[in-house]
Amino acid sequence: MSRAADTLARNLELVAANPAMGEDNITAPKALAARASAILLAVGAAGLALTIVGGVTVNGRHALASYIAAVMGVLAISLGALFFHMILGLTNSGWHVSVRRQMENIFAQVPLCLVLVLVFVVIELANGGVLLRWLGPDNNHLLEHKNPYLNPVFFVIRFVVYAAVWMYLVLRMRGWSVAQDTSGDPMLTRRMRFNAGWGLLALAVTSSFAAYDWMMSMDYRFFSTMWGVYYFAGAAGSSFALLVIVLAVLRGLGRLTGAVTEEHFADIGKFMFGFTIFWAYIAYSQYFLIWYSDIPEETFYMARRGADGWEALKNILMFGHFMIPFVLLLFRPIKRSTWGLAAVGVWLIAMQFADMVWVVRPMVYADVAPNLVPGWQRWWIDAVAIIGVLGVYLGMLTRTIASGPLVPLKDPRMHESLAHRNWVG
C-alpha cells in the first residue's frame, strides 16, 4: 500500500471512530421528516390553489407574475448552492465537507424548480405571451430588431439547454458524492473537482441567460449587462441563508452534534456577510449606470419601480436586504450562534423573495395608468404564491434530507472538517 493510500485509510478509520459520526447523529429522524414534508407539501398545494383562484377571479397576469417571482426565488437558492458546492470543491476546501451534503440536498431541488419554470413557459407559449409580450404579435420596430433572439423557437431551445446543463451538473455532483459514501473512492472527489472547472463557467452563462429570458425580457425594451450578476448575487446570499437554517434545524433535533459546530457557522456567516455587501454593490452599480446614462429604455425600469407604491418595497430592500443584515453580521457572536445566524438567514430569504417580487410584479400593470393601478388589496396573491411555491420546495427538500446520511461519510477531507477551527474571526 502506498503512503497516500495508507494515510487515506488511516484518516477514514479515524473519521469512522469519531463519536460525531454515530449513526443516530448523522441520520435524520425519518418519521418526523415524513410528517413535516407532508405538512409543507399540503401548505404548498393550498397556496398554489389560492394563486390559481386569484388568477381566475382577480387578474391572471398578476397571479402568473407572483408565481414566477416565487419560482425564480427558489431557483436562485438551488443554483447558488450548486455554485458554491463546485467552487469549494474546485479550491479543495476541507472545512466545508461536513456541511456539504446539505448543499447537495438544496441543489438537488433544481429538477423541481425546472418543472415549476416549465409551467410558466407552457402558459406563456400557449397564450401567445402573458408577461413575455414579445411572444405575441407586435409590430414594434425594436422587437423586430431583437427577433433573432426573442422568438418562441429559440426560447424553447434555450430552456432545454439550461435544463440539460443544470441536470447534468446536479446528477453528477450529487451522484458522485453519494456513491463515495459506499466506495470511499478518492477519485470521485477528483471527478467532482475536474467537472467543477467547466461547470462553474457553464452555470454562470446559463443562469445569467435564464435570468434574461424569464425576468428581464418581460420588458424587451430594457437591457442591463449586470442583470446576470444581480441575479447571482441574490442566489449566493440566499443559498447560504437556507443552508444555515437547515443546519440549525438539524442541530435543534439533536443531529450533527460535533460534526457541524459554531466554527462552521462562523464561516457560513462570513459568506452571508460578504454576499450581503456584494448584492448591495451590484444593485447600486446597476442603478447608478442607468441613472448616469439616462437612456429612456433603461430609466423606465427604475422609474416604474420607484412609483405607484413600489418605492416602499424599494426602501424595504435597501434597508432589509443590506443595512440590517450588514449590521447584524458584523458581530462575531451572531455568526457563531446557531439560532442567531438562522434568524438572519430567514430574514435574508424573505428579502430575496421581496427582491424577486420587486423585479417582476411592476410589469403586470406597466401599461395601466397610474391612477388605475390597484393598491395593497391584491398583495394576498403574491403572499399565497410565495407560500405555495416555497411550501412545495421545502417539502421536497425535507424528503431529500431524510433520504440518506446527513454528511459525506467517506470524503477524504472529512477529518479536516471535523477538526475545523477558526483561529481568527
pTM greater than 0.85 (yes/no):
yes
Q: If you search the block for the grid coordinates 456567516, which residue do you land on? A: 269
How does pLDDT run across 332-353, given as a tens digit for each residue?
A: 999 999 999 999 999 999 999 9
Choose among 377, 395, 356, 378: nearest CA to 70: 356
Chain centre distance of CA 402:
20
Top-confidence residue, 159 or 13: 159
Instruction: Pick 146 or 170 by higher pLDDT.
Output: 170
Q: Grid coordinates standing for 164? A: 440539460
- pLDDT tens digits for 388-417? 999 999 999 999 999 999 999 999 999 999
pLDDT single digits (tens) 122-169: 999 999 889 998 888 766 777 888 888 999 999 999 999 999 999 999
* Sign of torsion over alpha carbons 235, 241, 243, 249: negative
CA atoms of 356 and 141, how far apart (whole Å): 29
Determine the pLDDT at residue 373: 56
Q: Which residue has the higher pLDDT, 210 or 3?
A: 210
